[in-house]
Amino acid sequence: MKIPFSPIQILLPGTGGLVMGTLYKYRVFPWLKDEQTFDHGVWKRTADMAAATARTFYTVGVVLIIASVILFILRARQKKI
């Protein structure tokens, strides 16, 4: 079975997810500086929203990096055969 794409194509967005998670965790972006934000007609604490978004970015980043490692292993086994 030929793998149609490079594992690097999955590794880069995974790394980007970890970077974005870190930026959200430390509230680097200007729209995260306020104490409250208006979300779907309701005022919410920015700290809660930033923490939830950071967890989402971290989760997606880790899943993509694990998938990339699996594809690296599959590709290495494929070249040995």
Number of domains comprising the chain = 1
pLDDT at residue number 52: 94
Q: How far apart are CA 65 and CA 50, in angstroms?
A: 22
Bridge partner list, 42: 39
pLDDT at residue number 22: 97
Q: Examine residue 62 and state whether it is found in any structural domain, yes or no.
A: yes
- Relative to beta strand 42-45, strand 36-39 is antiparallel
Question: With 70 as the cut, is the pLDDT of residue 18 above it?
Answer: yes
Higher-confidence position of 6 and 57: 57
Q: How far apart are CA 21 and CA 32, in angstroms?
A: 13
Question: With 80 as the cut, is the pLDDT of residue 3 above it?
Answer: no
User: Which structural domain, as residue segments, surrounds residue 27?
Assistant: 8-80
Q: How far apart are CA 23 and CA 32, in angstroms?
A: 10
Q: Examine residue 2 and state whether it is found in any structural domain, yes or no.
A: no
Q: Examine residue 49 and state whether it is found in any structural domain, yes or no.
A: yes
Q: Examine residue 45 and state whether it is found in any structural domain, yes or no.
A: yes
Q: Examine residue 3 and state whether it is found in any structural domain, yes or no.
A: no
Q: What is the DSSP letter of 13?
A: H
Q: What is the pLDDT of residues 20-79, one digit of tens each?
A: 999 999 999 998 888 888 878 888 899 999 999 999 999 999 999 999 999 999 888 887
